[in-house]
Amino acid sequence: MTPPRTVPAAPLTVAAIQATPVPGDVAGNAVLAADLVRQAGARGARVAVLPELFLCAYHPPTLAADPVGTHVAADPAGVVADTRLDPLRAAAREAGVTVVVGAAVRHPDGRPTIAALLVDRVGAVRVGYDKQQLWGDEAELFSAGDRGATLLVDDWRLGLGICYDGCFPEHGRAAALDGAHGYLCPSGYLAGSAHRRDLYYAARALDNTMFVVFANAVGGDDPWRFNGGAAVYDPEGRPLARGADDGTEVVVATLEPAVLAATRAAHSMLADRLPDQGGPRVSMSG
């Protein structure tokens, strides 16, 4: 499959956000998210990405103890009408920002998932993507998603992934083969993981010559203490902007179509990739 070669007509300014949500406080975390989205919009961002499970916080003991209170419900069309998210709806609408924010979602069939919610520029909320690659004990609390997803903003195509998804080259490649110009990754990387945090998402950018927007939680108490480092990577894997390992930050960068086009012209892996890797492998002794 050869990916579409379209390039967006105009730049897109994005924000990767790192902050510390309160475990279980969906309403309070929505208020915090709303403030951060307004900050992003004031700096010109038209897309803002917040961390994995931000609305309930990535805190498995709390999620296990109160799955009703920490989750938001989706209807069969994926629409989320939870009034606790009203401040975030208002912020997206007022700032003119499309928001990608992590949440625990309960689907109509009872499946709980780790989701990326989309809050569009008129304030409507729906499930955009359910995490496919569950990490460790997440499988005890959540079901895995079964499809990829691409967000369309103006004429930009932005693949969606969540944290551990980005550790799999195939996940980012699937987005690129669907024509993605960028890859949005709400995440939750723990203290001590900085090497992997900084390597995986830069690699996904270079693997696929696409921009990557990585949002991460920060702070919290051991063993659920997160290490920030929110970043926007260019299509060669260089950080355009990066947050510190501590503290709340709204990291803003502009995705330039000319950079995307020049990188894909110079590094044509997507166009040159073989349809397979040569059939059966040959083993030989040395």
Paired strand residues for 232:
213, 241
Give the global pTM: 0.96
What pLDDT, on the 0 to 100 scale, is given for residue 253?
A: 98
- Residue 32: which pLDDT band, with cuts at 50, 70 and 90? very high
What pLDDT, on the 0 to 100 scale, is given for residue 276?
A: 83
Q: How many CB atoms lie within 10 A of CB 81?
A: 13
- pLDDT surpasses 80 at 58: yes
Spell out the residues 6+ positions from residue 8 whose beta carbon is closer than 8 angstroms to its own.
Answer: 154, 155, 156, 181, 257, 260
Q: Give which of 73, 185, 53, 193 is closest to 126, Cα–Cα.
A: 73
- pLDDT surpasses 70 at 135: yes
Q: Give which of 245, 124, 247, 99 is closest to 186, Cα–Cα.
A: 99
pLDDT digits (tens, 9 = 90+) for 250-277: 999 999 999 999 999 999 999 998 888 8
Separation CA 172–CA 75 (nearest Å):
28
Paired strand residues for 124:
none
What pLDDT, on the 0 to 100 scale, is given for residue 2?
A: 56
- Residue 5: which pLDDT band, with cuts at 50, 70 and 90? low
pLDDT digits (tens, 9 = 90+) for 231-242: 999 999 999 999
pLDDT digits (tens, 9 = 90+) for 156-188: 999 999 999 999 999 999 999 999 999 999 999
- pLDDT surpasses 70 at 4: no
User: Is residue 90 a contact partner of residue 83, using CB atoms and an 8 Å limit?
Assistant: no
Element counts in the chain: helices (H) and strands (E):
9, 15
User: Is residue 203 a contact partner of residue 181, using CB atoms and an 8 Å limit?
Assistant: no
What pLDDT, on the 0 to 100 scale, is given for residue 105?
A: 98
